[in-house]
């Protein structure tokens, strides 16, 4: 009696591929492909013992999962906007106007339609400062004159 037919392996592969649609991050895709490969081998070699089928499935699953894991870790996704969501970083080097005097190293500057906390040398309202860095939500500034 045959424990696993090629239909069983193809059904398992299909089930794993369906589950992958729900967001398994690629792992079930490759394990499903391993099950399908064992199904194809079982079709091509009808008398393949079930022990060998399970062993091949395990080996194929491990190899394909490792392949996927290594591939995901090696892919470097360089962004065309490296400072996206780092608003303060994209302000470095730009000049802004002091809205609230910088006294004892603390004040506020106008950036677009908002106001940011600033740290730097004392400066009167209306003077111009250049952003040289960022510490959290505080912009580090120097005089632009």
Beta carbons of 82 and 76 less than 8 angstroms apart? no
Tens of pLDDT along the chain (145 residues) come to 467 888 999 898 999 889 888 876 777 888 899 999 999 999 999 888 989 999 999 999 999 888 888 887 887 677 777 666 677 788 899 999 999 999 999 999 999 889 999 999 999 999 999 999 998 889 999 998 7
Q: Is 16 exposed, middle or buried (0-12, 13-18, 19+ CB in 10 A)?
A: buried
Its pTM stands at 0.50
In a 3-state reduction of DSSP, which class is residue 112? coil
Beta carbons of 35 and 43 less than 8 angstroms apart? no
Residue 97 pLDDT: 95
Ordered structural domains, the chain, with CATH = 6-74 (no CATH), 87-143 (2.40.50.140)
């Amino acid at each position: 009696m045959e424990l696993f037919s090629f239909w069983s392996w193809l059904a398992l592969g299909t089930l794993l591929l369906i589950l992958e649609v729900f967001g398994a991050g690629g792992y079930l895709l490759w394990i499903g492909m391993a099950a399908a490969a064992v199904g194809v081998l079982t079709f091509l070699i009808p008398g393949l013992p079930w022990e060998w089928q399970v062993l091949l499935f395990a080996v194929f699953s491990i190899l394909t999962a490792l392949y996927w894991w290594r591939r995901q870790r090696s892919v470097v996704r360089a962004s065309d906007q490296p400072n996206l969501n780092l608003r303060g970083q994209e302000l470095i080097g730009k000049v802004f106007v002091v809205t609230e005097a910088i006294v004892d190293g603390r004040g506020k500057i106008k950036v677009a339609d908002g106001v940011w906390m600033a740290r730097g040398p004392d400066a009167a309202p209306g003077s111009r400062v250049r952003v040289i860095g960022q510490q959290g939500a505080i912009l580090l500034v120097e005089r632009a004159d």
